[in-house]
Structure formats: C-alpha cells, structure tokens
Amino acid sequence: MSRIKDYIVSSVEKQVDKIINQYIMNVINLKTASDQICGVDNIEMVVEKHNVEEMLIEEKSDYWKKIETNDNARINYIAGGLQRAHSVFNGLQELCNLAKDNDWILVHDIVRPCFRREDINKLLKEIQTSNVGGILGTKLKDTVKNVENSEDIKATIDREHLWIAQTPQIFRYGLLKKAMQFAFDHALMPTDEAQAIEHHGEKVKIIEGFAGNIKITESLDLKLAEMILSLRGVSCV
C-alpha cells in the first residue's frame, strides 16, 4: 500500500481513495459470489474461515483512517512485514487459532483493485478437487528479452510457456503456512504464495484470468486502473 502513496500526488488522492474503497467493497461482497461454490463459506482478503466474516489487511495507519470503509466490522487490521512474504505470514500466524489446516486461504494484493468476481469464481471452481490450490494469471503476449549489463540483449526468450502471475492466489492454510516457513528456514524470499508452494515441492495450477487485473506500481497505473474500472461502471471521481 505504501508504494501507491509514494507515487501519487495530492491532486489524485481522491481518485485513489475511491479505487481503494471500491476494492474493499468488492472483497466484502465476494461472499455473495462464493455462496455458489460448494465447500467455501467465506472469501476474505487474506484468509477464508468458517462462520467468521472479517478481512486481514495491513496495519491501520493515519491513511487508512480516511477510507470510507475504515469502520467496517468485517475488516481486521494486521501489521505487515518488511516484504510481501512477511506480511502474508503475519496474517497466517494471526489465524493460527481460527483456521484449520484444510481451510482455503485466498491472498490478494490491494494494488490489484481491478479484479473481476467471475475470475475468482472460476478459480474457486478449478481448485475444488485440489489438495494444493492455484492462482490466476495471463499468458504473456509481448516479446521477452534477456538483457545483460542493463543494455545488451543476450537472448530472446521463448514465451510459449510463459505466464504473468496475478492475485488472488488460493491455497490450503496448513500447506501455505508450512511452505512459507520452509522458505524462511532456507533463506528464500518468495515473491508470491505460488513460489513458496513451488519451493515446498508442490505443483500449482494456473487459471487464466483478466488482463485488466493490473498491478498498480506507478502513477500512470492509477489512471489505467481508473479507466478499467470506469469501463465496468465504477466511478473513481
């Protein structure tokens, strides 16, 4: 979340607030969509658990206090960590007395506010018979170059089997927690949950998602996200 703030100026803060509010409400409303999926009781930003409707997101700060959905009873604030993996692990630790090993954990980045509910439904359906889980992603369309010395092309990489990973990513609670701990114990720093599961020796299913489910990392991405959401009838002004 801090990375978004680093890239924006005061003139677009209102737009960011609107996007984040819409994002949070989308996550809150996911339970309605998930009711159609057999065996899943709740979908939350970080974790799914039986009969508890709350979300885990990073530590409450002065910025979060300005968000319209700040006082929603279903949101529980958890302190983040130095890296994404640490933040996810903090959320898993917080749930040690609430989640069972076989519960599904749905992890999503708040910097991806343009996710579509139908893609999450598709993800949930695809992993129903899995003991591991899966992620959303899109096939790579651009030509990819392997560059050395920051300027010289070393090779062109075959993109036939290359995908761009997205979130949400969903895994069994017990497996994901073990995989994250395994990564830390072996001085590994997974950049997403799938990589932690891969390090643990499991195969992860990838399900094609929405190319518009972009990751906001630069100021231009905010405008692009606004356009994507506007095309779907979401006002960000």
Containing 15, the helix (H) or strand (E) segment is: helix 13-28
Q: How many other β-carbons are positioned within 10 Å of the β-carbon of residue 13?
A: 13
Q: Provide the whole-model pTM.
A: 0.75
> 222 Cβ partners below 8 Å, 6+ apart?
4, 7, 8, 12, 15, 16, 19, 216
Summarize pLDDT for 66-88 with one digit per residue, the tens: 666 667 666 677 777 888 899 89
For 172, the token pair is 């069994």
* Res. 175: pLDDT tops 50: yes
Q: Which residues contact 59 (CB under 8 A, 6 or more apart)?
A: 77, 78, 79, 80
Mean pLDDT of 13-26: 54
Give the mean model confidence (pLDDT) for residues 116-130: 91
Delineate the domains of the chain, giving CATH numbers in brackets: 2-115+170-203+214-231 (3.90.550.10)
| pLDDT of residue 174 exceeding 80 | yes
Q: Which of 102, 112, 157, 160 is nearest to 135 (CA)?
A: 112
pLDDT score at 1: 42
Provide the terminal-to-terminal Cα distance of the chain, rounded to the nearest Å: 20
